[in-house]
Structure formats: C-alpha cells, structure tokens
C-alpha cells in the first residue's frame, strides 16, 4: 500500500502594487461622473472577453488604450471632466475591487490542474494506489465541471462597447 501523500505546490504569487496609491481612493470606484457606469461596463467587458486568452498585462494595456481613445481624448476635446486613469489604477481596481466569475473559474481550473500535476509527479512508475486514483478521478471530474461552467459564463451575452461619438450626447 502506498503511504506517500500528495504534495501540493504553493502558487507563485505576483507582487501586487500594495504601495501604489495606498492612501488614494480608487478612481474607478469613487468617480461620480455620468460616464463612469459606461466606462466600467466597457472595461469589464474587455476583461471578460480576453480572460484566459491573453496575459493580464495585455488586458490592462488594451483597457487603458480603450479608455484613452474612447473617453479621455474625446472628453478633453469637449471640455468635460474625465477620470484620469493610469494602467496602475486599472490593475489595482480589477485585482482588488471586482469579483469576476470568469476569473474565479479560471483560477479554480488552474489550481485543480496544478494539483493533478503535483499528483502525477508523486506517483510511482509501477504503482498507483486506489485512493490516489479516486482522488485523480474526482479532480478530473471537478475540472470538467469547472470548464463547463466557464463555457456557460463566457456564452453570456457580451456588453456592447461604447463608441466615442456616443460621448457627444452626454
């Protein structure tokens, strides 16, 4: 009987921007502008559509470019107030202030997969215990359920992104 236990490797955590704007309120949470709700909906739609397909840094870059081209420049030209965002604001907001179903499911799939990989590394070549096999099958079923749930979340109707000419109506 195999008495070895499965060792789960700790996740590598990226350094968060704890020092960045530690005392300043989040501009995406605290802004009272009319445009804020449309801006937030669009930034969230961008994140949801790219999650799991491109890196987090690339998503932040796309969100920031969208913000500049669709909000900042047109509002400056019209003489309106606008949310002065930087990529760091977007990074902090979406990592701390928004709960994304898609992101949670992707994190759970990644954790389940890394747990299975850890188990594989601990299997003996010629023998797999019955308990290890049962655990593997449970994790596999769980991962497939998560992937089905992720497909369901992604199949939800996407938010239409606002174009810059719509800002003239504000």
Q: Domain coordinates of the chain in residue numbers? A: 27-169
Q: Distance (Å, rounded) from C-alpha 21 to C-alpha 4?
A: 47
8 Å CB contact between 151 and 106: no
In this prediction, residue 87 carries a pLDDT of: 92
Q: Per-residue pLDDT tens for 64-89?
A: 999 999 988 888 899 887 777 899 98
Place of tokens 């802004």: 31
8 Å CB contact between 69 and 164: yes
In this prediction, residue 98 carries a pLDDT of: 75
What value does the mean pLDDT take over residues 13-19?
A: 46
Q: Per-residue pLDDT tens for 39-69?
A: 888 988 898 888 878 888 999 999 999 999 9
Burial of 113 (0-12, 13-18, 19+ CB in 10 A): middle
Q: Per-residue pLDDT tens for 77-135?
A: 998 877 778 999 898 888 887 777 877 888 899 899 999 988 888 777 767 788 888 99
Q: Per-residue pLDDT tens for 140-152?
A: 999 999 989 888 8
pLDDT band at 158 (very low <50, low <70, confident <90, very high): low
Tokens for 64?
């920031």
Dihedral over alpha carbons 58, 64, 67, 69 (to 10 degrees): -80
Tokens for 26?
């989040």
Tokens for 28?
């995406």
Q: Distance (Å, rounded) from C-alpha 139 to C-alpha 136?
A: 5
């Amino acid at each position: 009987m195999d008495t070895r236990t499965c060792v789960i490797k700790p996740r590598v955590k990226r350094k968060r921007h704890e020092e960045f704007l530690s005392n300043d309120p989040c501009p995406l949470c605290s802004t009272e502008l009319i445009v804020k709700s449309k801006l937030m909906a669009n930034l969230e739609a961008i994140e949801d559509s790219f999650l799991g397909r491109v890196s987090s840094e690339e998503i932040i870059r796309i969100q920031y470019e969208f913000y500049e081209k669709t909000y900042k420049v047109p509002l400056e030209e019209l003489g309106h107030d606008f949310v002065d965002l930087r990529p760091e604001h977007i990074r902090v907001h979406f990592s701390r202030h928004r709960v994304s179903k898609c992101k949670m499911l992707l994190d759970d799939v990644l954790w389940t997969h890394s747990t299975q990989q850890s188990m594989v590394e601990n299997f003996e070549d010629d023998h797999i215990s019955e308990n290890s096999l049962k655990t593997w099958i449970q994790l596999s079923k769980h991962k497939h359920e998560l992937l089905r749930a992720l497909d369901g979340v992604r199949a939800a109707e996407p938010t239409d992104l606002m174009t810059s000419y719509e800002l003239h109506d504000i």
